[in-house]
Amino acid sequence: MPADQSLIHRQSALTHSQTTVPYLTPQEVDLMAAAAARTRHGERDELLIHLLFQTGLRVSESLQITLAHIQTFEGRPVMRIVGKGSKPSLVACPKPLVESLQAYAFRHKLEIGDRVFPINRKRAHQIITEAGKKPGLTKRV
């Protein structure tokens, strides 16, 4: 086989190895949140899981959230975040989630600039992983 044809053959082989990534269903997220609610910091951990899955934020982005990040845009609640690559963006946030974040902040006497989740990225990953194992989820979370 000429060199040019073998190169073409190798490149086409790459497209055959694509796999579908399994996603969590809303029921599985609820199971994880319920498992997280039974931990020492259950309210915080449950809220973190709901925030991640309802907004699609990265863990590092969610850990930077303060009350000042919660705003409205065209009458809808959003979070103004600085994402990957230092890019500012608006992320849609369901109203019940915003209300839960505000209630949590009020109960814990958080100031406007205080982080809602004052934990590091490693601890957040532990919370998520443990919450996925407790209800027996087999998917990678």
CA distance 26 to 119: 25
CA distance 137 to 32: 9
Q: Is the pLDDT of residue 103 over 80?
A: yes
- Report helix, strand or coil for 21: coil
Q: Residue 8 — very low, low, confident or very high, per pLDDT cuts 50/70/90?
A: low
Residue range 24-133, CATH number: 1.10.443.10
Report DSSP state, residue 22: P
Residue-level pLDDT at 15: 56
The CA-atom distances, in angstroms, between 125 and each of 17, 62, 91, 112 are 28, 12, 21, 25
CA distance 111 to 37: 24
* E runs forming strands in the chain: 70-73, 76-82, 88-92
- Whether the model clears a pTM of 0.85, i.e. scores above it, the answer is no
| Sheet with 76-82: strands ordered across | 70-73, 76-82, 88-92
All residues at 6 or more sequence positions from 105 whose CB lies less than 8 Å from its CB, including other chains = 67, 114, 116
- Average pLDDT value over all residues in the chain: 89
Break the chain into its structural domains and give their ranges.
Answer: 24-133
**pLDDT tens track for 26-59:** 999 999 999 999 999 999 999 999 999 999 999 9
